[in-house]
Amino acid sequence: MKEETSNNSRRKFLKSVGLTVGAAGVVSGFSLLGAAKAVAQEPGETVNLLTQDGQLVQVDKNQLRPTVSEPLTELQKRGREGIAGKSFVMVIDLSKCRNARKCMDACQNHHQLRPDQHHINVLQMQDAEHTAPYFMPKPCQHCDNPPCTKVCPVDATFKRQDGIVLIDNERCIGCRFCIAACPYSARIFQWTEPKDAEKYKDLTYNIEANVPQKKGTISKCLFSADRLRENKLPSCVSSCPNGVYYFGDQNEDAVTNGTTHETVRFSQLIEENAGYTLLPELGTKPRVYYLPPKNRAFEFNGDLLNEENLH
């Protein structure tokens, strides 16, 4: 009888230690040392937590530590690594773009940008005097041979395994070498305090959305890397009302239209429509493909007479 009780209490003790350790896995920023200390403490109020293996456990409240510094390093780490096994590509169908500029709005919303700052910009184009004008959205091309990352002296801008080129605000020293190196003018510099700086000031910096933005650093299109992690299409892609954007994984040879949600073969789409990339002669190997502005169902409503609008 006595034997059993002691056995029981031992089991209880083991269990409680086990749970604490389990909970430590869930609550990031919670050290094992802290857990050991907390076990010795008097039990106070308890809260329910879900462990990593799906168990609901009760944890003493004073064992919990607020999460401050850990997530930043965690975000930085996974932001640098990227999503394994993916190779993201974007296809922009110029024949459908009619300058609705919803992509730009969505992007500026997502990345804390003012209306005059662009990660993606819809440009008015005319290739030669007698050719037809058209609209062309231009994000960062996420080059496979990016000139921008080569010149960064502090390794602040980098390419990751899924093909996305990102910037680390925390490292960037604002030298703007990368702006000079990028042949697509894809990068912007935060000359002043960013929009809504006050509102975002307590937010932990998320490298995959480059938010909060920081004065004196660089920003550019990120393919909405934070949304991709949740299997969502980039902001611009899913906000276009005209079905201009396709986005997908080249390893799967499939891209999905953000408007119609139709999924098509990437290789076929490019082949059948004579898809091309911008400035291929530079050897930057862009990840953004364009389908030519053919057979358009609308009139060009831009303002080509105004030199300023022509890019």
Partner 1 sequence: MKNAIKIIACLFLVFTFTTAVVKAEEWSVPASAKKKQNPYEASTKNISSGKKIYNINCKSCHGDATLGNMLPLQPVAPSDLGSQAFLIQTDGEIYYKVNKGNGAMPTFEKTLSDEDKWMVITYLRSFDQNKKASKKIAEVINPEVNDVRILLDINKEDKRIIANLSGLTKKGDRVALQGIELSIKVKRSFGYLDISGDDAYTNEKGEVNVQFPEDLPGDREGHVDLLVKVTDDAYYGEVNVDRIASLGLPTDPVNPLDERAMWGTRANAPIWIVLSYVGGVISIWGVIFLVLFQLMKLPKLAKTEE
Distance, in Å, from the CA atom of 34 to the CA atom of 157, rounded to the nearest integer, reads 36
Question: Tokens 């993201």 appear where?
Answer: 88
Size of the site for ligand SF4 (CB under 6 A): 28
Binding mask 257-286 for ligand SF4 (x = CB under 6 A): ---------------------------x--
Distance, in Å, from the CA atom of 208 to the CA atom of 80, rounded to the nearest integer, reads 9
CB of 252 to partner 1, least distance (A): 5
What phi and psi, each to the nearest 5 degrees, are found at residue 36? Answer: -60, -40
Cβ distance to partner 1 smaller for residue 38 or 270: 270
Judged by CB under 6 A, the residue of 147, 204, 264, 285 near ligand SF4 is 147
Query: In this structure, which amino acid lies at residue 98?
Result: R
Could you say which of ligand SF4, partner 1, none residue 249 binds, taking C-beta under 5 to 8 angstroms by partner kind? partner 1
Cβ distance to ligand SF4 smaller for residue 63 or 284: 284
Distance, in Å, from the CA atom of 194 to the CA atom of 166, rounded to the nearest integer, reads 19
Distance, in Å, from the CA atom of 311 to the CA atom of 305, rounded to the nearest integer, reads 12
Based on the shown chain and the rule CB under 6 A, indicate whether residue 107 belongs to the binding site for ligand SF4.
Answer: no
Strands (E), the chain: 46-50, 56-60, 88-93, 121-125, 134-138, 157-159, 165-167, 187-189, 218-220, 245-249, 254-257, 263-265, 288-291
Q: Give residue 119's Cα distance to chain centre.
A: 12
Report the site for ligand SF4 in 182-201 (rule: CB under 6 A). 182, 184, 186-187
Based on the shown chain and the rule CB under 6 A, indicate whether residue 75 belongs to the binding site for ligand SF4.
Answer: no
Cβ distance to partner 1 smaller for residue 9 or 260: 260
Binding mask 291-310 for ligand SF4 (x = CB under 6 A): --------------------
Q: Which residues of the chain form contacts with ligand SF4 (CB under 6 A)?
A: 140-143, 146-148, 151-152, 154, 156-157, 165, 167, 172-178, 182, 184, 186-187, 218, 220, 284
